[in-house]
Amino acid sequence: MLVTVPTTFLLWRLARAPLDVTSLARRWLPLAIVAGADRGAPAGRLDVGTLAIAWKPSHRDGGLVLQARDLRVLRRDGSTALSLSRARLVLEIAPLLIGRVAPREVEAEDMHAALSRRADGAVTLDLPGARADGNVPDLFIFRALTRVHVARVTATLEGFSLHVSLLDGLRQAHRRLLWDGNLAADLVAPGKETVTLDGHAEPASSGVRWHLASSAFEPQIFSPVAPELARWHVPLAVTLDGVETEGYVGGVLRHRTGLAIAWLAGRATLGAGQILQEGAPLQVNGGGAALSIAPTHPGERDARLALRGGWIALTGAGNAPTRFTTFADFVLSDLLRPRRIDGSAHVEGSSFEVGQLGAIWPQAMLTEARKWVTRNIVAGHGSGLAVTATLHGDHGWPSLQPVGMRGALHLEDATTIWLPGMPPAEHLAADLDFAKPDTLRFVIHSGVQPADASAGAPRLTLAEATGLIDGLYVRDQNGTFVLRLSGDLGTYLRLLAQPRLHLLSRHPLPFSAPSGPVAATLHIHLPLEAHVRDEDIHIEARGAFHDVHLGDVLLGRDLADGAGTIFATQNGLDVTGTGRLGGVATTANVREKFRHDTRRDEVTRIHAVSTFDPASFEAAGLGSPDLFTGQAVLTSDYVARADGRGDVALALDLGAAGVSLPVWDKAPGLAASARAHVALMHDTVTGVDGIVAQGPELALNGHAVLDKGGIVGVALEDFHVRRSKGDARILFGSGADAPLRVMVNAETLDLAPLFHRVAAGSGERPVRERPAGAWRRREWKVDLKARRLFLAREAMLGGVSAHLEEKGGRLLFATVESVAPAETHVVLTPRGRERHLVATTADLGAMLDQLAGIKRIGGGAMRLEGALRDEQNGAGGLTFEGRLTGAHVALLHPPAALTWVTHLAPYDRGVADGAHFEFRDISLPVTYRAGRVTIRDGQLGNDALGATVTGDIDTVTERIDLRGTLVPLFSLNALPGKLPGLGKLFVPEKGGGMLAATFAVKGALGDPSVHVNPFSMLLPGVLRGIAE
């Protein structure tokens, strides 16, 4: 009774009017409401100017009424964190008994609150030093709240200010969480940009219909709290309309609130502005989208989100606008905190210039693929863009990934850089789509690929190309490109020589000037990074070629009519093919290794097999086709090593060939071969050795002579060719005009084949004259020593020593000496435009017997002297004019008439008998022209007999036709011819006599017939000539 009466009186008093309890409250003010980190030092204290209490009797919204003015929350330093001009709260009584505050009504006016964000992301009053568990919101329970009225409220957070002009809300009767009312507020950003918010809610049949709209603002104003919005310099205006019902939506307030959305419809409108990104910003002309949200089933947390009518207009370089449209659908396991998400999205775009892709492709969309495309596809026109994606995620929005992709984009007249540093492909027609959900594919239908970036560079036809960019949604992407090219082989190899490919730039091919058609593929695989390491690039090039020409393939030889394949990677090169190497049918394989471990490792190998026939023998410049029959096979193996050393092994198989050389021949089927080794250093010849030839009656060994990296000669240590045996050295110099030096030292040297060749069953025939050419025009110098020198099958000189000099096909100087069969000397020296010849022999008979088989001449020391001339009047050939003189030359087995005439002289003294006839003096004027030797007024004789001779010797037909007179008693018989004025009547022949016998020598040069007419002595002087 004592408690009930005072309590009833107090409630009656409070129900009549508020009771001012300021003085009483002062005992506890300022009241600690937020604990600090240090005990006894609260972080937040509550203070009020006036405080009154009242009682509102009502079953639904009644309770204890608190009215306060000048309410403040003070920080530890006494500054104000919250100030409130007037506040009115209606509180439930029961929660107060357990220290909790459960408001039914809240009214506040002219409030200023400073907020801050804790390390865990929670927003609280800005109270430095507050403990995390000392927070005011834990004191409040809002489930009984039925009315809110707020006016002129300002809250600040991290530079933002929220000014609420009016917030007036009333919970619907019999609804726990559905409110209607109005909201008017302004949000001021740190840069003083202002966003105006206007909203209202009103009852609807299924709950509360509400509307919220914002004024246009640039999202970048929120970058202090959401840095990802710093790029958005585009005006954005948002409107939202929806209907709320009682139910559950996780995360809006708390699960127990039971708030749900029946449906929500929103619209966003973009104005003109920029979205900043790396490279060129997105220039936005405008855009918009409509968004709708509805639960999949009423009252459940699953929701369906639909985007309709989305569009954005972007402007690239040249102010050419591109318009994109989109729509999308998503099903979420929870609207605000979804775990499972399924959806689809579709985007279409109008035509655009490829150069502006960077300005219209958002940086956050397929980031790495965007980098490659915008960096490598640098020009062209795009059209027909359409992309449809099927999306799925099991762990919220960050896990959302495409599980299905369909798309299309056509490019025309595009320019693409496959690899930085590689010349771009031009004039491409291509289509882009998706090979897999995470793989972008593009197919090129036509275009051209320049060999390099220089102006006017040759081009290859790009018949087809494909490219794949995989891993679109992971951090690192890879690109694979396959180019199918056709064109000239030289252009293709020039492309492979681009430094960025690391194929042929540091490993030049071992041939030059390639040309001819090729069909090729180029595979490139690399990570799509801004700076790609060389070791991460994998390149494979293949090609098939035909009708190709390659220069300087092997030892200066070119390859023509080539056909084969080429394969190259960063590890090496392999070329295999056939063709005509130096005019010779050849199969070759070239292998290059681009990587090696030691300097002795092999880096290049060429294997070539060449097959010669008579036609290719001539085409290769090796000689006339009639020197060669059948087939010969030349195998060439070239090896180069990393230290610059190289070797060439040459092997020639003549087993199936017939050879007909001036000094050696063989029939097909007889084994014969030749081989040689060439040593190189950095492609410069340092040695040629192992020169070996073997065959029937053939064996030689030698090496090349080098000077300053060039082959200037060949040294044969020993040679055995038929009867010839010895050694030789041939020096042909390093220049085209260098004299050709030949030095031969032989035990036996057989030159007979150079003058006569014996063909089986055909007798002897002259050797074909040496053709004029480069060798004929060069200067020759020959030094020869031979113990035996054969000029014919049996004709031999012994102890021969010679020096010859020839220039322009003319023998200018010569000295020849021999000791057998007689001591002989020949000297030829130039004198102006002529050449002077002096030849002497100690035994003419022995020389004629040995060299010409003439056995009817014995002994005789002879001298031939005269001048050699080259015809200048068009007759051609060589002429000689001189005199042959000698003594003690015997005619063996003379005719009996000649002996009889000789015996007429009383002082015969044995100069003639039946075995021989000796001429003690000989003087023959001799001329030579066109193979004919002519003697005019020749004189020969002794004390008993004189003779005259006139006639011709044909060296071509080897026939002799000489005639003359024999003058007995020569000393007396010749006197009438010396009479002045009458001498010609008695002695018509020069060196003749009044009485003389005529003779004639005719027939084969080796065995002529001699005829003497002794009866002509009966006709003196001119009568003898008339009788003849």
Which 3 state secondary structure label does DSSP give 536?
helix
Pairing of strands 780-790, 740-750: parallel
Q: How many C-beta atoms surround the C-beta of residue 670 within 10 A? A: 14
Contact present, 992 and 974 (Cβ < 8 Å): yes
- Containing structural domain, residue 991: 883-1027
pLDDT in tens, 403-449: 888 989 999 999 988 887 888 999 999 998 988 888 889 899 999 99
Q: What is the pLDDT of residue 926?
A: 95
Q: Would you call 339 helix, strand, or coil by DSSP?
A: coil
Instruction: Tell me what the mean pLDDT of segment 260-266 comes to.
Output: 80
Residues 770 and 899 reside in one and the same domain: no
Please report where in the chains the tokens 């919204």 appear, as a residue. Answer: 61
Does residue 552 lie in a domain region? no
User: What SS3 state is found at 920?
Assistant: coil
* Count of CA atoms in the C-beta half-sphere (13 A) of 529: 10
**pLDDT value for 10:** 63
Retrieve residue 134's tokens: 């000392």
Of 157, 178, 197, which residue constitutes the final position of a domain?
Answer: 157
Cβ atoms within 10 Å, residue 648: 19
pLDDT tens for each residue of 223-255:
887 888 888 899 999 999 888 776 544 433 334
Question: Cα–Cα distance between 365 and 362 in angstroms, integer?
Answer: 6
pTM for this one?
A: 0.63
Question: Residue 260 above 70 pLDDT?
Answer: no
Per-residue pLDDT tens for 941-992? 776 677 888 999 998 888 899 888 877 655 555 555 555 554 455 555 665 5
Q: What is the pLDDT of residue 767?
A: 44
- Residue 344's pLDDT is 93
Say if residue 559's pLDDT is above 60. yes
Could you read off the pLDDT of 722-762 as tens digits, one per residue? 999 999 998 886 666 778 899 999 999 998 887 654 433 33
Residue 149: inside a domain: yes
Query: What are the tens digits of pLDDT across the range 534-549?
Result: 778 888 889 899 988 8
Same domain, 2 and 138: yes
Domain boundary among 125, 157, 189: 157
Average pLDDT of span 272-291: 85
Other residues' Cβ atoms within 10 Å of the Cβ of residue 299: 12
**Distance separating alpha carbons of residues 201 and 288, to the nearest angstrom:** 25
Name the band, by pLDDT with cuts 50, 70 and 90, for residue 876. low
CA distance 431 to 454: 28
In tens, the pLDDT along 594-623 reads 777 777 788 889 898 989 888 877 776 666
State the pLDDT at residue 802: 95
Give yes or no: residues 899 and 816 share one domain.
no
Q: How many angstroms from the chain centroid is the CA of residue 937?
A: 82
- Please, is 603 exposed, middle or buried when counting C-beta atoms within 10 Å of its C-beta (0-12, 13-18, 19+)? buried
Instruction: Look at residue 108 and tell me whether its pLDDT is greater than 80.
Output: yes
pLDDT digits (tens, 9 = 90+) for 619-643: 766 667 777 789 999 999 999 998 9
Tokens of 621: 């410049």
Rg (CA), the chain: 61
Q: How far apart are CA 935 and CA 943, in angstroms?
A: 23
Domain count, the chain: 3
Query: What residues are paired with 207 via a beta bridge?
Result: 204
Residue 177 falls inside a structural domain? no
More confident residue, 100 or 994: 100
φ/ψ bin of 159: left (φ > 0), alpha (ψ from -120 to 50), beta (otherwise): left
CB 217 within 8 A of CB 236: yes
pLDDT tens column, 817-864: 999 999 999 999 998 889 999 999 999 888 888 887 778 788 889 999
Dihedral sign (CA 866, 868, 869, 875): positive
Q: Looking at the structure, tell me whether residues 8 and 140 fall in a common domain.
A: yes
pLDDT of residue 880: 92
* Phi, psi for 354 (deg, rounded to 5): -60, -30
Over residues 190-222, the pLDDT tens digits come to 888 889 989 888 887 777 788 889 999 988 888
Q: Which of 932, 923, 901, 854 is nearest to 997 (CA)?
A: 901
Judged against a pLDDT cut of 70, whether residue 59 lies above it is answered with no
Beta bridge pairs of residue 431: 410, 443
Tell me whether residue 779 is in a domain: yes
- Do both 807 and 903 map to the same domain? no
- Pairing state of beta strands 997-1004 and 945-954? unpaired
**Cα separation, 332 vs 292, whole angstroms:** 13
What per-residue confidence (pLDDT) applies to 230? Answer: 86
Q: What is the DSSP letter of 893?
A: S
Q: What is the pLDDT of residues 470-513, one digit of tens each?
A: 887 777 778 899 999 999 988 888 888 888 777 777 767 767 78
Band (650; pLDDT cuts 50, 70, 90): very high
Q: How far apart are the C-alpha atoms of 611 and 875, rounded to whole Å?
A: 44
Same domain, 22 and 95: yes
88 touches 107 (CB < 8 A):
yes
How does DSSP assign 719-747, residue by residue?
EEETTEEEEEEEE--SSTTSPEEEEEEEE
Residue with tokens 């958002």, as numbered in its chain = 362
pLDDT digits 0-9 by tens, 884-928? 999 988 878 776 656 665 555 555 555 556 567 788 889 999 999
Same domain (yes/no): 123, 42: yes
Q: What are phi and psi of 11, to 5 degrees?
A: -65, -40
Residue closest to 260 by CA, chosen among 172, 341, 336 = 336
| pLDDT averaged over every residue in the chain | 81
User: What was the pLDDT predicted at 836?
Assistant: 95
Q: How many other β-carbons are positioned within 10 Å of the β-carbon of residue 227?
A: 10
Same domain for 914 and 811, yes or no, is no
Do 19 and 125 lie in one domain? The reply is yes
Residue 727: the pLDDT is 95
For residue 839 the two structure tokens come to 């030849």
Q: How far is Cα 131 from Cα 37, in angstroms, rounded to an integer?
A: 5
Domain end point (choices 820, 841, 862): 820
Question: pLDDT tier at 774 (50, 70, 90 boundaries)?
Answer: very low
Q: Is residue 314 included in any domain, yes or no?
A: no
Question: Does the residue 945 lie in any domain?
Answer: yes
pLDDT tens for each residue of 364-396: 677 767 777 888 888 888 888 899 989 999 998
Question: What H or E segment, with its residue span, contains residue 150?
Answer: strand 147-157
DSSP β-bridge partners for residue 571? none
Q: Which tokens belong to 301? A: 């947390």
Q: Are residues 917 and 787 in the same domain?
A: no
The verdict on residue 993 lying in a domain is yes
- Dihedral sign for Cα atoms in the order 990, 992, 998, 1002: negative
pLDDT of residue 368: 67
The pLDDT of residue 257 is above 50? no
**Whether residue 802 sits in one domain with residue 942:** no
For residue 452, being part of any structural domain is answered with no
Which of 978-986's residues contact partners 24+ apart within 8 Å by CB, and which partners?
Answer: 984/1022, 985/1021, 985/1022, 986/1020, 986/1021
Q: Could you tell me if 144 and 36 lie in one domain?
A: yes
- Indicate the residue type of 780: W
Q: What is residue 702's predicted lDDT score, i.e. its pLDDT? A: 94
